[in-house]
């Protein structure tokens, strides 16, 4: 059994920046957002289930999911959202478990914006929160994605509050300086996780 670290943080907090740094240290990263897209890609069982539940209009002509049409529906219809999650959440969880188990590094990271919200933290032995003020989140996310500010505020409002995440996380890094400052805080944590991983599977 590999030691699994859950890494989370709100939109624009610096999760990807942190997980890329861990990758440079030879640590494998499973990204829940990537898995969520993979499980509804062309030919996957979950995509067939979505088509059966919602109808052919959720499919594009090329056999891929019309993500925008489905997003618009679940935004308005909470039953549809529930039904969609009943299909996707178990598929995502199973795929995450498989990818974590296949990882070969001394420990492995599960990065997820909704680690606590979706109970994915139960798959991990320890959690690390990359934390940032809302102002920094908005500034960084808007520069990165060219998304409008209201949209980013909406996403932040839909995620668990900073305070709740701070209470749940084992470790917290406040990403409020340069990237070098972030990496300097991650380095001793990485050494700690290596020690914990060795203790778990000597």
Residues that bind ligand ADP (CB under 6 A): 9, 11-17, 140-141, 144, 175, 177-179, 182
57-60 contacts at long range (C-beta below 8 A, 24 or more positions apart): none
Nearer to ligand ADP by Cβ, of 6 and 14: the residue is 14
Maximum C-alpha span of the chain: 53
C-alpha 144/C-alpha 140 separation (Å) is 6
Closest distance of CB 48 from ligand ADP, Å: 30
Closest distance of CB 142 from ligand ADP, Å: 9
In the three-class reduction of DSSP (H, G, I as helix; E, B as strand; rest coil), residue 170 is classed as: coil
C-alpha 196/C-alpha 90 separation (Å) is 29
Nearer to ligand ADP by Cβ, of 38 and 66: the residue is 38
Closest distance of CB 130 from ligand ADP, Å: 6
Q: CB-based contacts of 151: which residues, under 8 Å, 6+ apart?
A: none
Nearer to ligand ADP by Cβ, of 2 and 8: the residue is 8
C-alpha 157/C-alpha 151 separation (Å) is 10
Nearer to ligand ADP by Cβ, of 26 and 177: the residue is 177
Closest distance of CB 11 from ligand ADP, Å: 5
């Amino acid at each position: 059994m590999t030691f699994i670290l859950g890494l989370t943080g709100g939109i624009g907090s610096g999760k990807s920046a942190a997980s890329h740094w861990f990758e440079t240290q030879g640590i494998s990263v499973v990204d829940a957002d990537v898995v969520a897209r993979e499980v509804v890609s062309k030919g996957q069982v979950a995509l067939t289930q979505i088509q059966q539940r919602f109808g052919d209009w959720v499919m594009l002509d090329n056999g891929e999911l019309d993500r925008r049409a489905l997003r618009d529906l679940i935004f308005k219809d909470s039953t549809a959202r529930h039904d969609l999650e009943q299909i996707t959440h178990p598929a995502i969880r199973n795929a995450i478990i498989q990818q974590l188990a296949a990882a070969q590094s001394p420990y492995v990271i599960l990065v997820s914006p909704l680690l606590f919200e979706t109970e994915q933290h139960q798959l991990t032995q320890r959690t690390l929160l990359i934390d940032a003020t809302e102002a920094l989140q908005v500034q960084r996310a808007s520069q990165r994605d060219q998304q409008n500010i209201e949209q980013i505020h909406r996403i932040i409002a839909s995620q668990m509050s900073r305070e709740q995440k701070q209470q749940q996380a084992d470790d917290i890094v406040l990403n409020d300086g340069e990237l070098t400052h972030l990496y300097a805080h991650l380095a001793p944590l990485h050494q700690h996780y290596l020690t914990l991983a060795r203790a778990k599977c000597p």
